[in-house]
Chain A
């Protein structure tokens, strides 16, 4: 009964084209943003339940935010532009390692040419953003095959990117600044004199990145470029006939998607992990991101958040719930259960609702608008 839009009249097209044209949605979002930006940090600072320890921040909220960001990037490519990618993990790695190299100073000795390229260490913020740009560049490179090949074949091409960069970051010591263990340490997170150290600060930093990038991504997908991507996804022939250049549409999708994933990768390394090995960005990460997008909702920014939350929380719930219910399960059983639940859920969603949880929610909202009447 509360969810009615009767009496909310729009008098301009700008109002009608707002992200949330219904007032109740705007109020709900404002509350959510308020909780995320003010409520959570306050509770966490004073260690009030459920933030008694830092577990919730470290183990759930921080990875949730960063993976949601990476899922948004994946969703732009897979959900909006329809180009299947199995290389998201590689683009996270490119973002992370580029940011690392830029933050610690780049030195390329070109002995045969008689000089060396040297870039002094850059500030952290610049490194993270440039890491994203680097990832965008590589994304464009690996997007070029998409002009010729489609579907599964393209997925294989992006898989090649995944394996190539896994190998490169593991075997080429230049990327890890010749660290003997192969793992690298993130620099101090110094943002214009403000040093980010505590979990709360890290959480706020990620929240800021995610909020800004999510809004910008939403702007893109509801603007003309987003319509070009979706047109290419839905029917590329008709898209060409209304003047959309497949080259431009596909490569911008690859670039924007890789940029967001790259920034997420840099945050994952710098803010969440602190020190990492190439294993952190393996093929499993790519698959996880793909699952998030499919479960959350292909072609939906909100779906990326839901998918990330689901993929993160289900394993944790499976760990905690059985013991709480007095049903102690072995770790092995839990891992198996996890596979069973994810696998069957993806099959179910692909068949019944290819647009994932996000579509289920919007169907629910449509029903709610009429409730308690069926129509």
Chain B
């Protein structure tokens, strides 16, 4: 059982490490790295599901009987490239946030937002 489910347990741990970074760290770049960890753990989960013991890579050749499952491979292949595209979009948002707030720390951004809100309220009351 330990060997049989080892991959899944490592995947769960990696996923939770990613989730922890996303929740507990305030730095936006670090959050994106955490998301990448999370994403890659899902890739590892799919690919280790596709493996068949004694199988080979799913490229047809004459004297091979057992292949690993090619379907998860096709799904994850496209997911990886989509992941880099969306990560790039997130990074460009970070760049704009840095330009607008002068910081990429979540708490500093929150503080500035609260400040603006409070100022608005004061002006309304006045």
| Same complex | no
